[in-house]
Structure 1
Amino acid sequence: MSKGIAVLTAIAILILTVFLISMNTGLIHLTPMEVLRTLFGGGTDRQHLILFEFRLPRIIVSLLVGMGLAVSGCILQGITRNGLAEPGILGINAGAGLAVLIYIMYFPNMGSSPVFLLPLLAFGGAALTAIIIYLLAFKKNEGVSPFRLILTGIAMAAAIYAATVTITLQLNPEKFKFVERWNAGSIWGANWNFVLALLPWVLVLIPYAIYKARTLNVLNLGDQLAAGLGTRVEKERLRLIGVAVALAGASVAVSGSIAFIGLIAPHLARRLVGNRYEILLPTSALTGALLLIVADTLARPSEIPTGIVVAVIGAPFFLYLLARSKA
């Protein structure tokens, strides 16, 4: 536990460092002194607008999304006992994205009230996708095989992607451009309304997931042993899937389709602190936040979608894990 606290402290310091660097990074450069002066009430109106209306909301959204996707991936890896499980790979992100896309098609006015509906709509799409995947992967007298769950999720993601492309081709040029950037993983919800829309999901669900850490520890022992220890395996698994789906859906609603955070962060955290979920879940959350804020900081000067930077890191890492799983 003392090692875990030390690791958490070190990651938190790295996040704070990148946070400060990120406030200075963008198409319009602000010096560290200008940032500090603006933070403490000084600075010009232009500097105040850049920092408080554009950069700070985007940075905070990046942190929240990174935490949500990382914890979602960590839970899915725990309940499936498969290191390749991740909300993007399983199609959960795609289901959430399709729900948001349909909403954007018919309700293009993104006022303050509809913004708070987006996480709910994304959760609905993600939940429906998760239910279909779960039912297709379920076999009577066998339950859910982690291997079948992964393959079913990959197939479902491909089907949803095809539906998304079909819908996208019917959009006008302005909406088409937006959806293309969204699919690439652009942090598009970069204002305070989106921060407030996502914050309750993260503040409620991540502590609940940490509260269920002991259940995850037991589920990792296998269904039979977990049941022998008094755990209601299917009931607890469904609860945890619900938490993972809600975190992924709410995160996708404001960040676009960003993959691999839920895959990379738990693996890095596991190497740092081990497999006990009491410390693994918070370490995964901070690692995911660090990865996404670094990716967004690197992407921002050239205005490329953050998801592309994450994919450049995540795709080779996924192939590495896939090769190891076959060994």
Structure 2
Amino acid sequence: MIHPALIRKQRLILLILLILIALTAIVSMGLGYASLSFDRLIPTLLGQGTFKENFVLFSVRLPRIVITLLAGMALALSGSILQGITRNDLADPGIVGINSGAGVAVSLFFLFAPIEAGSFIYLLPVMAFVGAMITACLIYVCSYSRKSGLQPVRMVLMGVGFSMALSGVMVVLISSAEREKVDFIAKWIAGSIWGTDWPFIWALLPWLVVLIPFTLYKANKLNMLSLSEPVAIGVGVSLNKERVVLLLTAVALAASAVSVTGGIAFIGLMAPHIAKALVGPRNQLFIPVAILTGGWLLVLADTIGRQLADPDGLAAGIVVALIGAPYFIYLLLKK
């Protein structure tokens, strides 16, 4: 049973995070290459804006904010699941190679698939999932031992190795592609939010609508997987089955996010740790906090990045990496 005081604390933190997301979104709506005064935001949202104001808000700013929010939530949840099933606090879809696998699949699809633009948007998450799933399976197989089961530290090391190898594949793809397509892949690698239109939101949203409730339903299984393997087996958990199902969920979340935002790492590493520090390690409590924390972090990083360089700004993935890399080193030293 969860103590009522912890539940109240979690609800207060969730409320604070929602307020932070709303405030950051408001600031993000008003800032940018084409400025939109803050006193005109509410009238424009209510349909009383000029043509320019409507275009800037509804066609440029708002879709980008929603995309970054949803992608940050997906990456944070993916990282939470990976840390749970591997019992490794350093697991993250960007660090263990899943994002790179999705990136190679997206690049191959973008370069060579003769697909119409309308279908392209909705097929991207599927192709990213296929690439990420193949990578995750290879990492899992290489990290698994019949005698001792899944090796958490080995999984992270394998993931780093696969990530480097797949980065080399991306370089080969870039060297053989047309200039326009090279620009797209380069932006993807940097973590530039490129899917900034409403169709990309409809392509990403169904994955979260299905997988967030499913993960919360599996929260108690994740609690048991965090125990030692003999204890988890003793309480009746089918380790391999639950790990595979949850690994599929984590891969699907990460792949759907990076297919429209590019190769963003460290959100899935930082958000779960921040959430656990606030409400403890119980999955029922920290997963909702991690989801909102990840969404807010990515919206904040994108808002900051857009102000640092004109006219396109600095990629959100770079801003996140500037924060996340030192945090990763801190965790390595601590653990």
**TM-score range with shorter-chain normalisation?**
over 0.9
* 1:132 maps to amino acid: L
Look up the match of 1:286. Answer: 292
Could you tell me how far 1:107 is from its partner in structure 2? Answer: 3.7
- Distance in 2 (CA, whole Å) between partners of 1:105 and 1:283 is 38
- Distance in 2 (CA, whole Å) between partners of 1:22 and 1:159 is 36
- Distance in 2 (CA, whole Å) between partners of 1:305 and 1:221 is 38
Look up the match of 2:321. Answer: 311
Could you tell me how far 1:106 is from its partner in structure 2? Answer: 1.6
Look up the match of 1:322. Answer: 332
> Normalization by structure 1: what TM-score?
0.97
- Distance in 1 (CA, whole Å) between partners of 2:114 and 2:316 is 23
Distance 1:99 1:149, change over 3 A: same
Could you tell me how far 1:108 is from its partner in structure 2? Answer: 7.4
Worse overlay, 266-275 or 172-181 = 172-181
- Distance in 1 (CA, whole Å) between partners of 2:278 and 2:30 is 30
Q: Over aligned residues, Cα RMSD in angstroms?
A: 1.1
Instruction: Determine if the alignment matches structure 1 residue 135 to structure 2 residue 141.
Output: yes
Look up the match of 1:101. Answer: 107
Instruction: Determine if the alignment matches structure 1 residue 90 to structure 2 residue 100.
Output: no
* 1:98 maps to amino acid: V
> Normalization by structure 2: what TM-score?
0.95
Could you tell me how far 1:109 is from its partner in structure 2? Answer: 6.4
Look up the match of 1:269. Answer: 275
Partner of 2:299: helix, strand, or coil?
helix
Partner of 2:88: helix, strand, or coil?
coil
* 1:315 maps to amino acid: A
* 2:174 maps to amino acid: T
* 1:318 maps to amino acid: F
Instruction: Determine if the alignment matches structure 1 residue 225 to structure 2 residue 231.
Output: yes
- Distance in 1 (CA, whole Å) between partners of 2:61 and 2:68 is 11
* 2:16 maps to amino acid: A
Q: Which runs of 5+ in 2 are unaligned?
A: 1-6
- Distance in 1 (CA, whole Å) between partners of 2:113 and 2:23 is 39
- Distance in 2 (CA, whole Å) between partners of 1:222 and 1:287 is 28
Percent sequence identity over aligned pairs: 46
Look up the match of 1:60. Answer: 66
Q: Which runs of 5+ in 1 are unaligned?
A: none
Look up the match of 2:3. Answer: none
- Distance in 1 (CA, whole Å) between partners of 2:192 and 2:263 is 8
- Distance in 1 (CA, whole Å) between partners of 2:184 and 2:240 is 40
Look up the match of 1:14. Answer: 20
* 1:211 maps to amino acid: Y
1:158-179 alpha-carbon deviations (Å, 9 max, x no partner): 1111111111111121111221
- Distance in 1 (CA, whole Å) between partners of 2:101 and 2:39 is 44
* 2:140 maps to amino acid: Y
Look up the match of 1:296. Answer: 302
Look up the match of 2:158. Answer: 152
Worse overlay, 55-64 or 170-179 = 170-179
* 2:331 maps to amino acid: L
* 2:20 maps to amino acid: L
* 2:318 maps to amino acid: I
Task: State how 1:39-58 maps to structure 2 within 5 Å.
Answer: 39-58=45-64
